[in-house]
Amino acid sequence: MKTLKTPVDPLHLTDSERKHIPHITIEGNTVTVICGDGIIHPMEADHYILYIELFQGETSLAKKMLHPGDEPKAVFEVENTENLHAEELCNLHGIWGSL
């Protein structure tokens, strides 16, 4: 069973939490997920985001694999934008979900 990392205080995020929590923006049917919000997560050889995955409810809609040097970002086209959330896996800091 996977364990999602969650912020200690969602109203007062630390810098580490801000760069790990996937940030979702929706325009029409286009969903953009960036890690993170205001502070971008590094994409270096020894510390990077391995993937960004988009869910609708419990269902995985799509997953983008990432590599060092990539932008920590994924763009998905979806038919229905209801009840979306995203997760990302950092090679050092585990799996984080969008708020």
Q: Which of residues 54 and 90 has its CB atom nearest to Fe ion in the complex? A: 90
Q: Contact 46/75 with Cβ under 8 angstroms? A: no
The minimum distance between CB 7 and Fe ion, in angstroms, equals 14
Q: Which of residues 5 and 78 has its CB atom nearest to Fe ion in the complex? A: 5
Question: Which H, E and C letters describe 7-44, residue by residue?
Answer: CCCCCCCCHHHHHHCCEEEEECCEEEEECCCCCCCCCE
5: contact with Fe ion by CB under 5 A? no
Residue found under tokens 């993937």: 51
**One symbol per residue from 62 to 91: x for binding Fe ion (CB under 5 A), - otherwise; what is it?**
----------------------------x-
CA distance 78 to 31: 7
Q: Which of 5, 18, 93, 95 binds Fe ion (CB under 5 A)?
A: 93
* Residues near Fe ion, by CB under 5 A: 90, 92-93
